[in-house]
């Protein structure tokens, strides 16, 4: 499976479902609700992106953050166990986006090995993470959390007793779509996770092709 075949299979819908499947309560979701979480989350991300683009014509992502008084801080002191685990983070208390330099460089190195460095050079990776964290800022300050806008999942039920929990990963689905649109990317940023896993040898292209086919079937069946 080539990079181009992988990119062709990585539609927004498939990568959004892949993100949804990583949620703690995914298995609690009724099959007929899966499309609801995928498409409603994507819609929220797209609408937020349109609003930002219309409000900030001809401005790049760093300018938008500056206008919103969001600081961008590059951290270069990660411990080894933090690398890759922490690429970017929004600090709501100090109103700043933290970028982790070593993590970004490590990703860039892996992408170089796979010859997708034209898609993902250092600055592109950094901008993707800035845009992603900007969306989480918007959730806190302007639009509310995506998972609070959507139905909660029933994770426990016994007689009249019922416990509902939010599907937190819907926020990341929306953030990926927001990021793609704001940065005008030809790909969904979630694809980075899979290129990294391939680069490290955790999975191969054949495994991923089969997995994406399964996700496609899930979307068609529900």
Where would I find the H helices in 21-143? Answer: 34-55, 61-67, 101-113, 122-138
What would the two tokens of residue 75 be? 């951290």
Residue 45: how many CB atoms within 10 A of its CB?
A: 27
Buried b (16+ CB within 10 A) or exposed e, 26-39: beebeeeebbebbe
DSSP at 158: E
Higher pLDDT: 175 or 207? It is: 175
48-81, pLDDT tens digit by residue? 999 999 999 889 999 999 999 999 999 887 555 4
d(CA 182, CA 53): 7
- Residue 79: its pLDDT value, please? 55
* Residue ranges per structural domain of the chain: 3-221
- Residue 81: its pLDDT value, please? 46
- Residue 83: its pLDDT value, please? 41
Question: Considering the chain, what is the average pLDDT of its residues?
Answer: 89
User: pTM for the complete prediction?
Assistant: 0.92
- Residue 78: its pLDDT value, please? 58
d(CA 82, CA 23): 21
Question: For residue 38, what are the contacts with CB-CB under 8 A and spacing of at least 6?
Answer: 13, 16, 17, 20, 173, 219
d(CA 171, CA 148): 9
């Amino acid at each position: 499976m080539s990079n181009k075949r992988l990119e062709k299979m990585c539609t927004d819908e498939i990568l959004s479902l892949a993100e949804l499947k990583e949620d703690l309560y995914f298995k609690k979701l009724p099959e007929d609700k899966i499309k609801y979480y995928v498409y409603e989350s994507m819609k929220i991300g797209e609408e937020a992106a349109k609003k930002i683009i219309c409000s900030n014509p001809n401005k790049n992502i760093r300018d938008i953050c500056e206008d919103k008084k969001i600081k961008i801080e590059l951290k270069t002191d990660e411990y080894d166990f933090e690398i890759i685990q922490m690429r970017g983070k929004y600090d709501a208390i100090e109103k700043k986006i933290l970028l982790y330099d070593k993590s970004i460089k490590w990703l860039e190195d892996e992408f170089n090995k796979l010859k997708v460095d034209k898609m993902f050079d250092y600055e592109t990776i950094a901008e993707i993470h800035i845009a992603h964290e900007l969306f989480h800022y918007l959730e806190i300050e302007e639009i509310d959390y995506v998972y609070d806008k959507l139905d909660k999942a029933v994770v426990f039920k016994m007689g009249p007793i019922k416990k509902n929990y939010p599907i937190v990963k819907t926020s990341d689905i929306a953030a990926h779509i927001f990021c793609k649109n704001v940065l005008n990317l030809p790909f969904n940023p979630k694809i980075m996770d899979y290129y990294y896993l391939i680069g490290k040898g955790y999975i191969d292209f054949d495994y991923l092709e089969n997995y994406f086919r399964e996700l496609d079937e899930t979307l068609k069946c529900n």
